Structure 1
């Protein structure tokens, strides 16, 4: 640590920037390979000649192989936000060393990083939806559904296994890791509350338990009546699945061996795993947080909704609460934000219909003599006598 200087840390970020350029090229190459694979597949599928020319199948196989090769290269870009979080973590560690007089200065504080502005949620208005359907491009990184769009999605997935989880996230604003790691021991179905004290964190295939993102993330949330009833029904379903799974496991052990072609989910080779969590697979195992995001993305495409991330359901909860007249301080407590300014800065823009009412309110306060004239669209013409 005595030899550490700002230039050493700066060189690390320069290496990240250089790697980002390579990964951006890999991402573009993967997109091109995907387009070529789809074109080759379409040419083979739409060919009217029977039998199809072997060259079409050969071209499709070659395009699939090229796509696999392109996707095998690293494509994840470490953006400005990630770089700032990395530097903040390093700075906090060096600040501890500086306080203990192990180093003479916190060298991470003088590092130069790209400018980063926290993205603010944008609502999927009719105009933005039409533009997205025409071009396939999202207007922003963080998008939020309108109440009507949210209702359409919930109605469309009401029969899905994860519907209670989606409902909980939409209206109570839990993070992905918080719903994945929510234990029954912190869920009170008698009075309808959940205590958020831990979450599941995923890095690639590794998953571990951790505390929420900030100290204020540890919070108790009251459930609305609908979500409360859904969790009661989900508890009953989970208990029934546990009994069915253990019964099938006992039958398999006593009477027969699994057939080679029999699906593994129908031949339980182990008893039901009691992870103690609210949302689990049929065998009691915890959901991988990344699987929840993938399942959500597939559902959005299936019901043809404008795309948002699973994490954006949390923004939907905040926006709906703000539109319903709930104070920003209450929304901060609901989301578990460490600072009031973070909540206020993120959700300064609300749904369009409420913005319209806010725009009209100041006009109504100004007294006018007589009826206000409508703006003219054509030049005044002198009256003729």
Structure 2
């Protein structure tokens, strides 16, 4: 007997049994199912499902993207107009200010609110690929149950997704960014000089020990936020990464590291180890001060906390980092990109790629090697020069020919004259 189960009924049943998924993954799956799959495919019976309706679902996403891009452009233009109207009102020297200027500013604010109320979210190629993978996983199980004859996502065509690779903030890229305000890539990495400038500038900031740890040891944001003292051994200088704080909107929860290789023990460099010793003493002092004032101190056991012991929200750490980078005037990177800085610095210092894989907790060597094919410019130059050094040459090579001596030049000119005379 043919099953009458619809796509909506099956997807919800399939999702319910996927208790093996990490919490963050479950949230992503649920969003795909309820927001995208069921509105487009939910009414279809599983036995009638084919590739075409799935393809149409993604085609609708592409059409929505075009509309949302237009909405974003309109919102950007409305923001420029609102700021101009506000500036005109503020700079008016007339007292009282002309009511027309205030009215124009109010109109511009309303136009901005209207523009921002329209959908502007772009579902990029990476997210579309995740959506197809979610549906593919569900249809693989459906095929096992004989609900479908095959996985109908296999023939779906999507825009090509190229995973962004880290790019170095070279002088040329920094100059272009300062001129246009546009980042050359999604994932950017500071040079050693820029990294040093940042660390020097934030040396007195409360979060400096955490920034130092992430810069040189490559912890993820959630791994640093969720690092407990119980997994930190400052006698031998190491931290064991076994959990992280994950956030979605305002919700925060503890979870295991991102991949199977994510649980790892990391050796600390001497400076970071000393900083954490000082930080631990500071934290103990703050605890004593709060208790002396009969104010509750939150004993979370976390390494990096507020003065009252509360753990940091991961998103707050990112926002603080962004503000500091902007204040210092450095080219922008994300807090997560400090992890890429750590990997690139290790690579330039001669650390083997396999060791970098272990440091970062990547699931595979290929992932690490593929991600960090872009390295520091000075390291690339050293690699370019290396082959020259192993090839023996009798004659010294120069960038350009040495200038001829006057005697040799004159001799060559005389020979040419004699040849010309003989020819005549």
TM range (shorter): 0.7 to 0.9
Match 2:297 to one of 272, 275, 280: 272
Match 2:75 to one of 13, 19, 30: 30
CA distance in 2, matches of 1:277, 1:99: 45
Query: Structure 1 residues 117, 242: CA separation in 2 closer, same or farther (over 3 Å shift)?
Result: same
Match 1:326 to one of 341, 348, 351: 351
Query: Structure 1 residues 307, 53: CA separation in 2 closer, same or farther (over 3 Å shift)?
Result: same
Question: Partner of 2:286 in structure 1?
Answer: 241
Question: Partner of 1:284 in structure 2?
Answer: 309
Question: Partner of 2:223 in structure 1?
Answer: 178
Question: Partner of 1:122 in structure 2?
Answer: 167
User: How far does residue 358 in structure 1 lie from its aligned partner after superposition?
Assistant: 1.2
Residue 221 of structure 1: SS of its match in structure 2? Answer: strand
User: How far does residue 142 in structure 1 lie from its aligned partner after superposition?
Assistant: 0.9
Question: Partner of 2:214 in structure 1?
Answer: 169
Query: Structure 1 residues 316, 88: CA separation in 2 closer, same or farther (over 3 Å shift)?
Result: same
User: Residue by residue, what CA displacement relative to the aligned partner does 1:240-282 show, whole Å, maximum 9, x if unpaired?
Assistant: 33333344455xxxxxxxxxxxxxxxxxxxx222233222222
User: How far does residue 16 in structure 1 lie from its aligned partner after superposition?
Assistant: 2.9
User: Residue by residue, what CA displacement relative to the aligned partner does 1:178-206 show, whole Å, maximum 9, x if unpaired?
Assistant: 11222222222222211112222222222
5+ long unaligned stretches in structure 2: 1-9, 11-45, 402-408, 415-424
User: How far does residue 80 in structure 1 lie from its aligned partner after superposition?
Assistant: 0.9
CA distance in 2, matches of 1:65, 1:94: 46
Question: Partner of 1:88 in structure 2?
Answer: 133
Query: Structure 1 residues 74, 236: CA separation in 2 closer, same or farther (over 3 Å shift)?
Result: farther
Match 1:10 to one of 55, 62, 70: 55
Q: Higher relative contact order by CA 8 Å / sep ≥ 6: 1 or 2?
A: 1
Could you say what the CA RMSD is over the residues aligned between the two structures, in angstroms?
2.6
TM-score normalised by the chain length of structure 2: 0.78
User: How far does residue 353 in structure 1 lie from its aligned partner after superposition?
Assistant: 0.8
Match 2:84 to one of 31, 36, 39: 39
Correspondence list, 1:148-227, <5 A: 148-227=193-272
Match 2:331 to one of 306, 327, 340: 306
Match 1:294 to one of 282, 295, 319: 319
Correspondence list, 1:63-102, <5 A: 63-99=108-144
Query: Structure 1 residues 181, 114: CA separation in 2 closer, same or farther (over 3 Å shift)?
Result: same
User: Residue by residue, what CA displacement relative to the aligned partner does 1:303-356 show, whole Å, maximum 9, x if unpaired?
Assistant: 000011111111100000000100000001111111111111111121111111
Query: Structure 1 residues 99, 214: CA separation in 2 closer, same or farther (over 3 Å shift)?
Result: farther
Residue 109 of structure 1: SS of its match in structure 2? Answer: coil
Residue 198 of structure 2: SS of its match in structure 1? Answer: helix
Query: Structure 1 residues 101, 212: CA separation in 2 closer, same or farther (over 3 Å shift)?
Result: farther
User: Residue by residue, what CA displacement relative to the aligned partner does 1:87-124 show, whole Å, maximum 9, x if unpaired?
Assistant: 22343344345456565433333322210111111111
Query: Structure 1 residues 137, 171: CA separation in 2 closer, same or farther (over 3 Å shift)?
Result: same
CA distance in 2, matches of 1:157, 1:139: 26
CA distance in 2, matches of 1:9, 1:104: 15
- Quick check: 208-217 or 283-292, which moved more? 283-292
Alignment of 1:358 with 2:386, yes or no, is: no
- Quick check: 290-299 or 326-335, which moved more? 290-299
Question: Partner of 1:257 in structure 2?
Answer: none
- Quick check: 119-128 or 42-51, which moved more? 42-51
Query: Structure 1 residues 64, 233: CA separation in 2 closer, same or farther (over 3 Å shift)?
Result: farther
TM-score normalised by the chain length of structure 1: 0.85
CA distance in 1, matches of 2:328, 2:284: 30
Q: What is the count of residue pairs matched by the alignment?
A: 363
- Quick check: 49-58 or 304-313, which moved more? 49-58
CA distance in 2, matches of 1:241, 1:72: 45
The structure having more radius of gyration, on CA atoms, is: 2
CA distance in 1, matches of 2:159, 2:312: 36
5+ long unaligned stretches in structure 1: 251-270
